[in-house]
Structure 1
Amino acid sequence: MKIEKIILLAAMTTSCLSVSAQNETSVYLNKTKPIGERIEDAISRMTLEEKVALCHAQGKFSSPGVPRLGIPELWMSDGPHGVRAEINWNDWGYSNWTNDSITAFPALTALAATWNPDMSALYGKSVGEEARYREKDVLLGPGVNIYRTPLNGRNFEYMGEDPYLAGEMVVPYIQELQKNGVAACVKHFALNNQEKWRGNINVKLSDRALYEIYLPAFKRAVQDGGAWSIMGAYNQIWEEHCCHNSLLLNNILRKEWGFDGVVITDWGGAHNTKQAALNGLDIEMGSFTNGLTSESDFGYNDYYLADPYLNMIRKGEVPESTVDVKVRNILRLIFRTAMNTEKPFGSGPNEEHYAAAKQIGDESIVLLKNSGILPLVPRTGMKILVVGENATRPLNQGGGSSELKVKDMFTPLKAIQTTYGEEVRYAMGYKSGRPMYDAEEIIPQVTLDSLHQEAVAMAKEAEVVIYIGGLNKNAYQDCESTDRREYNLPWGQDQLIEDLAAANPNLIIANVSGNAYAMPWLDKVPAVLQSWYLGTMIGPSMVDVISGKINPSGKLPFSFPKKLEDNGAHHFGEASYPGIEGASAGNAANDLKGADVSAGNDPQQEYLEDIWVGYRWHDTKKIPALFPFGHGLSYTTFSYGKATLSAKEMSADGSLTITVPITNTGSIEGKETVQLYVHDEKSSLPRPLKELKGFKKVNIAPGTTVEVDFTLTPDDLKFFDDNQHKWIAEPGKFKVLIGSSSTDIRNTVQFVYK
């Protein structure tokens, strides 16, 4: 592979030298010149046709360059937790390469559950090296849409329910990824918080909810992470699709945040040529066509930003300056990626990347409950029964665009057998069927009954049962294009767990999912571990936590409600989720060839829970969660000393330091995530009971105390005043709440903001 890379690099260099020899005064090829000068020089040399060509796809995952000028094309790839296998040029089939296997890294819910920005940096670095090795210029991720409902099929790709947590975790990922010369394409901007009707649902919400909950992580990605590209969402906001939504793209992204990168559609996310021309979109991908094959009568020149756009410019219906703006952004991206001669070579899947995936997975697993059965220390002759399809299922398969072709996959069952020996037995317990994108295989009840009965019978003969079930990436589970149908576990698992607990009280639940789920059996089991889609190293991470080799340190990045109705998005009925379906959404065939067609009477939805999302809802409405945001136990114990403030008052241009001593009062080393929340005692607008404004993960030896410091600034006290359309911090009393979760508050101190 490296020899091929050297040959390719030499060919590119020769091409550029040839172009340079013909254009000795070409500023755009001179990397010593300021990027702005290079861009303007390149634009001045382009024809209108070449400019427009830059603005739309030429293949499934490629957009054109300008061959005449030696400007290379852009190559993109899914996805946020591993580089997807190569896709055919003109259709969605896999290309069946033999050299595109990769490391599957943990899904982003797992990364968020580490509560550790160092893990995020390691993640971005590692996945960036594999993307660079595969010659990708843009990696389509990470995702930072807020976890609003546990039914969203795509929650596993995102970073939880809190905008502060998601913002802190996304920044180092982007920074380290882009050091490889690979652009992050942060998605899905914005409010892509469900899969049902995702292509045309119209979302309504308050400005406060938008600015306080759903935008902050994107803003951090742009301003602090320096993201080079953004992917628009499928849905509409305020009757305008997000991929060409003037308020989102022109006003907020460009003007308010100063974004200088490229806005790329989600695949098929464009719907209107004039809006795409005027409202901030740069590159259109995937619109209604499989390219030039017999599968479609429409080619890439039929895209909204292709011939229809070119014709509009020629007719004077939109000014040529609109395409110049887009080309400036696209060239800036090309200079940062494809034409960056100083980027590293990257590396394919290797032991270093496996170690990174393992370390992230180790820190992500959350110990939800433990009555003393864990850790399950290995000893000779233990009779262990493993039950559950997820113990053996390759969870890299399915899920839509997140599907990965792994070089290796180390399953939980194999890892448990390696650790505990030959006495480990296995029963599937249930069966879910093949992973499919938007359909499901129905398993006959007689098959489910047989597997159920076999597992319960075997449980009676075991010393300990380890249950590894949960969700998977089938349609209507954790999967793009579909939402979950129910909050309970599918395929009869709840009854299976009840029956296993009755047959053997030594039952450890170690479920895998990217979403919360109901636990009607919780009081009947002694231990519950929440794992995630941990990728290549799922087995070693899970068994090391179960056995005690790794002390669990993950914390929940979202709340687990007791029942679905306890979630804020579901409290108000279908108007809030999933929305109310209207009349026909129009004929998609009429949308082709650049026709500007009204979307019709699309499904309508209003975020009636407003700013009270996740723990904000549970706290403020006094509805206890089954497991709260930030919750996670350890095999050791931690005590919190008295917090101290550097001052009792904060001025508008000042800050405060909060210091709290944390002691490991147990017998083994462990990591604790100390969480800081702020409560505004009186405000002119309603505010949540508390909001996360700081967290630090610290490793503490037994019997040792460490001091954890936090700095608060006036920005941490602000809320968004939608009447003034600005962030404000009002004078008054504030409380700082420090604890081990959003409900396990160990310390409170007060100060005055003047």
Structure 2
Amino acid sequence: MKVRNIFFVFNAIIAPMWSVKAETPAYLNDNLNIEVRVEDALSRLTLEEKIAMIHAQSKFSSPGVPRLGIPDLIVNDGPQGVREELLWDSWDSACQTNDSCTSYPALTSLAATWNRKLAYRQGRSLGEEFLQRGKDVALAPGINIYRHPHCGRNFEYMGEDPFLAGVMAAEIVKGIQSNGVAACVKHLALNNQEIDRHKVNVVVSDRALHEIYLEGFRRAIIDGGAWSVMGAYNKYRGQFCTHNEYLNKILKTDWKFDGVFMSDWGGTEDTRESIFNGLDLEFGTHTDGLTSGISNAYDNYYLASPYLELIKSGEVGTTELDDKVRRILRLIFRTSMNRNRGFGSRNSEEHSADVLAIQQEGIVLLKNQGDILPIDKNRYKRILVVGENAYNSHTRWGGSSGVKARYEVRPIDAIRRMAGNNVEITYRQGYTSALPENVQIEDSLRAEAVNSVQDADIVIYIGGYDKRYDTESHDRKDSKAPYSQDKLIEDLLKQKKPVVVVTFGANQFDMPFIDKIPAMLHAWYGGSESGTALAQVIFGEVNPSGKLPITLYKQASDCGALVMGEYPGDGENVHYNEDIFVGYRYVDKYGVKPQFHFGHGLSYTRFTYGRPNVSKKEFAKGDTIEISVPVTNTGSRHGKETVQLYVHDDKASVIRPEKELKGFDKLTLAPGETQYAVFRITADDLSFYDEKNGSWTAEPGTFKLLIGSSSNDIRENIQIRLN
């Protein structure tokens, strides 16, 4: 039994039983209001105990108060699963044999499902694994905006649109916290590049900050009820985001966040700013104390001995300290001292089913010329699979999102299993990520793959990025296809056999070959069941229904952040000159023709949209309009369609995007079946952030509601008026 649990059992359960007359302290009484328990516990703490609680005692824990039976707070990374156990004081693996976990789809893949229910399901399932591993806080989800396609952590986030990211994040948070495990929404804010992330100052308008970069956080906190938030490494307005006066006001005053605001590991830089600008819990500060002879390196954290000395000298008071400790106690009572939470589960069949269901809906069918997909096993008896990603693992690396997965189904194995005995499957590696500088090996692998095409009826190419490119702490230098994959694909196409291209990764690489290939799937990073889901889509056991949560450009250099804005900046500052025009907003405003539009995704069946019905065409602030749209499956297969609703402001006092996503509804339809997509719109959905007044404004006037299958495939529209 862990030491913290021994103290908890003794103080919270055994000791009170020794005396019938002894009155249970309020903080141990689950039947009392949490705020009563918080104040009671706070009143019993010494100054030194309070200081100890607001900074780490190891890589992933902060101390409780043993004499009061208050346990330590245990946190862990986890966007794609619970990270393996590390040594107490280092980043090295503890080499345990019982810390494997289920690997969940990356959040880009989850966002591509456009399915609120699946977002909650992933959160709930993920939370169960954290609970079983004894963790109190899951450092997830990440919801920074996909500003440009070079960021190494884009795969951890949920795309370019703040509405989609915010709605999905709120559901993940609810799911995680249904287990009595806190979700930690990260990274507040403007962490949109890995280059210079520890020092760069982001210069952005107030409007873009609120409309694009904060909206997802606002929804995760207000709608999702997140219990903790993590700061970003970078600066905003010249202050580090971990202790930023302006962001703290938004978080704790405007949004009334009552949880714990914690630092990213090594994100704290100043004691006084941390005291007064809202940092509650400090992790990972680089004191190098473990090698400099200090008995306890954690006492050198900014919110440790330096803070204690300021209080004892009378330079600062304890008001801010008490607020920090209240928040940490509140978090503990919601998690580890919540006796109603269960025990969790890990690596269960149910969790594998969750992963598979999510990834099935996350895969996006980008192109399907001549309906070559799904592959007909009666027609194509000899299939050549080419590409290292058919064999690669995508769960282990990538920075803090890497996990020790109990298993991972590789695409090549799933394809062989699903093809059956009557189809011949041949595999050729085609390219190598291990020795990209070795031209001789590269040419040899390419030649072997190309020479095998003549003996095949169809080629399935499985490539894209891997966790050497999509990883924390690094951005890509360009958007060229890694490992010379573009040349390999061009050589395969010259053999005049149909080539189906499958790509993994969060980002695109330039695809000059796109017009020559008949079919293409984008599969992100799919977790433990990644290969299974891909094979099911390829052979038609699953009808793809994913929609892009990002814009895929013809070349990455078409992205507004790279055309108008600065990236990565001059090492000190980066200016977001594209302002609110991120992703499809930029595409619409400047007439850019991307390869695939935001919201795009094909199906093996077809859907037709009927005329929308609206509850009323004129309304006032405080009212809600309900819109319903009939959608019919006119094809021959069961399928799922995500109906998207965008808002267009006919006339405004400020420049507004051509359209903004404000609703989506995913329907499951049998052949010939009709269902209604339902949306609700209020004045808030029509508003913009008014920089002059520092508030959200919905101006009276006419608006168009645009309803479609993607941002570029608008099927119906209806006009409404806000009075």
In structure 1, the partner of 2:429 is 428
In structure 2, the partner of 1:483 is 475
In structure 1, the partner of 2:9 is 13
In structure 2, the partner of 1:124 is 123
Q: Equivalent of 2:256, from 252, 258, 268? A: 258
In structure 1, the partner of 2:319 is 321
What does residue range 66-85 of structure 1 map to in structure 2 within 5 Å?
66-85=65-84
Q: Partner of 1:340: helix, strand, or coil? A: coil
In structure 2, the partner of 1:109 is 108
In structure 1, the partner of 2:573 is 604
Whichever residue aligns with residue 467 of structure 2, its letter is K
In structure 1, the partner of 2:711 is 742
In structure 1, the partner of 2:99 is 100
Q: For the residues of structure 2 that align with 1:314 and 1:212, how far apart are their CA atoms?
A: 43
Q: For the residues of structure 2 that align with 1:517 and 1:363, how far apart are their CA atoms?
A: 23
Is residue 657 of structure 1 aligned with residue 626 of structure 2? yes
Q: For the residues of structure 2 that align with 1:378 and 1:339, how far apart are their CA atoms?
A: 56
Q: Equivalent of 1:533, from 511, 514, 525? A: 525
Which digits, 9 at most, give the CA deviation of each residue in 1:65-105, with x for residues without a partner?
01121110011111112000001101000111111110000
Q: Partner of 1:740: helix, strand, or coil? A: strand
Q: For the residues of structure 2 that align with 1:516 and 1:138, how far apart are their CA atoms?
A: 33
- Conserved 8 A contact 1:378-1:419: no
Which digits, 9 at most, give the CA deviation of each residue in 1:241-274, with x for residues without a partner?
001001101x100000000000110000000000
Aligned pair in 2 of structure 1 residues 518, 442: CA closer, same or farther (>3 Å)?
closer
- Conserved 8 A contact 1:382-1:420: no
Which digits, 9 at most, give the CA deviation of each residue in 1:162-187, with x for residues without a partner?
01101111111111111111100000
1:159 to partner: Cα distance: 0.6
Q: For the residues of structure 2 that align with 1:11 and 1:298, how far apart are their CA atoms?
A: 22
- Conserved 8 A contact 1:140-1:187: yes
Q: For the residues of structure 2 that align with 1:511 and 1:317, how far apart are their CA atoms?
A: 58
Which digits, 9 at most, give the CA deviation of each residue in 1:461-496, with x for residues without a partner?
21111111000111xx11000001111221100111
Q: Equivalent of 2:698, from 723, 729, 744? A: 729
In structure 2, the partner of 1:386 is 385
1:15 to partner: Cα distance: 3.9
Q: For the residues of structure 2 that align with 1:384 and 1:709, how far apart are their CA atoms?
A: 43
Which digits, 9 at most, give the CA deviation of each residue in 1:414-466, with x for residues without a partner?
00011114621111111112xxxxxxx65411111111111111122211111
In structure 2, the partner of 1:466 is 460
In structure 1, the partner of 2:540 is 548
Q: For the residues of structure 1 that align with 2:535 and 2:617, how far apart are their CA atoms?
A: 47
Is residue 696 of structure 1 aligned with residue 686 of structure 2? no
Structure 1 unaligned spans of 5+: 434-440, 582-602
In structure 1, the partner of 2:570 is 580
In structure 2, the partner of 1:587 is none
In structure 2, the partner of 1:648 is 617
Q: For the residues of structure 1 that align with 2:152 and 2:687, how far apart are their CA atoms?
A: 32
Q: For the residues of structure 2 that align with 1:60 and 1:696, how far apart are their CA atoms?
A: 41
Whichever residue aligns with residue 259 of structure 1, its letter is F
Which digits, 9 at most, give the CA deviation of each residue in 1:638-659, with x for residues without a partner?
1111122222212122222222
In structure 1, the partner of 2:90 is 91
Is residue 686 of structure 1 aligned with residue 655 of structure 2? yes
Aligned pair in 2 of structure 1 residues 419, 294: CA closer, same or farther (>3 Å)?
farther
- Conserved 8 A contact 1:19-1:70: no
Q: Equivalent of 2:445, from 428, 451, 463? A: 451
Q: Partner of 2:10: helix, strand, or coil? A: helix
In structure 1, the partner of 2:688 is 719
Q: Equivalent of 1:571, from 563, 577, 590? A: 563
Of stretches 620-629 and 360-369 in structure 1, the one that deviates more from structure 2 is 620-629
Whichever residue aligns with residue 673 of structure 2, its letter is T
- Conserved 8 A contact 1:395-1:472: yes
In structure 2, the partner of 1:599 is none
- Conserved 8 A contact 2:648-2:659: yes
- Conserved 8 A contact 1:204-1:238: yes
1:295 to partner: Cα distance: 9.9
Q: For the residues of structure 1 that align with 2:7 and 2:453, how far apart are their CA atoms?
A: 62
1:629 to partner: Cα distance: 0.4
Q: Equivalent of 1:560, from 536, 542, 552? A: 552
Q: Partner of 2:574: helix, strand, or coil? A: strand
Q: For the residues of structure 2 that align with 1:246 and 1:11, how far apart are their CA atoms?
A: 38
In structure 2, the partner of 1:584 is none
- Conserved 8 A contact 2:380-2:458: no
- Conserved 8 A contact 1:653-1:714: yes
Of stretches 315-324 and 232-241 in structure 1, the one that deviates more from structure 2 is 315-324
- Conserved 8 A contact 1:388-1:428: yes
Q: For the residues of structure 1 that align with 2:497 and 2:292, how far apart are their CA atoms?
A: 59
Q: For the residues of structure 2 that align with 1:442 and 1:234, how far apart are their CA atoms?
A: 32
Q: Partner of 1:491: helix, strand, or coil? A: helix
Q: Over the residues paired in the alignment, what is the CA RMSD in angstroms?
A: 1.7
Q: For the residues of structure 2 that align with 1:277 and 1:149, how far apart are their CA atoms?
A: 34
Q: Partner of 1:222: helix, strand, or coil? A: helix
Which digits, 9 at most, give the CA deviation of each residue in 1:119-139, with x for residues without a partner?
001101111110000000000
- Conserved 8 A contact 1:719-1:727: yes
Which digits, 9 at most, give the CA deviation of each residue in 1:13-55, with x for residues without a partner?
3342245458735221122222112111211111111100001
Q: For the residues of structure 2 that align with 1:300 and 1:661, how far apart are their CA atoms?
A: 60
Whichever residue aligns with residue 513 of structure 2, its letter is W
Q: For the residues of structure 1 that align with 2:292 and 2:394, how far apart are their CA atoms?
A: 33
Whichever residue aligns with residue 315 of structure 2, its letter is E
In structure 2, the partner of 1:331 is 329
In structure 1, the partner of 2:603 is 634
Q: For the residues of structure 2 that align with 1:444 and 1:294, how far apart are their CA atoms?
A: 42
1:393 to partner: Cα distance: 0.7
In structure 2, the partner of 1:438 is none
Aligned pair in 2 of structure 1 residues 26, 750: CA closer, same or farther (>3 Å)?
same
Q: For the residues of structure 2 that align with 1:294 and 1:720, how far apart are their CA atoms?
A: 50
Q: For the residues of structure 2 that align with 1:19 and 1:144, how far apart are their CA atoms?
A: 44
Of stretches 375-384 and 527-536 in structure 1, the one that deviates more from structure 2 is 375-384
Is residue 409 of structure 1 aligned with residue 408 of structure 2? yes
Whichever residue aligns with residue 389 of structure 1, its letter is E
What does residue range 290-329 of structure 1 map to in structure 2 within 5 Å?
292=290, 299-329=297-327
Structure 2 unaligned spans of 5+: none
Q: Tell me the TM-score normalised to structure 1 length.
A: 0.93
Is residue 362 of structure 1 aligned with residue 354 of structure 2? no
Aligned pair in 2 of structure 1 residues 546, 442: CA closer, same or farther (>3 Å)?
closer
- Conserved 8 A contact 1:738-1:747: yes
- Conserved 8 A contact 2:80-2:402: no
Of stretches 269-278 and 21-30 in structure 1, the one that deviates more from structure 2 is 21-30
Whichever residue aligns with residue 671 of structure 1, its letter is K
Quick one: percent identity of the two aligned structures?
51
How many residues align? The count is 717
In structure 1, the partner of 2:677 is 708
Moved over 3 A (4+): 7-12, 18-25, 289-298
In structure 2, the partner of 1:600 is none
Q: Equivalent of 1:515, from 496, 502, 507? A: 507
Of stretches 155-164 and 457-466 in structure 1, the one that deviates more from structure 2 is 457-466
Q: For the residues of structure 1 that align with 2:438 and 2:294, how far apart are their CA atoms?
A: 37
Of stretches 394-403 and 17-26 in structure 1, the one that deviates more from structure 2 is 17-26
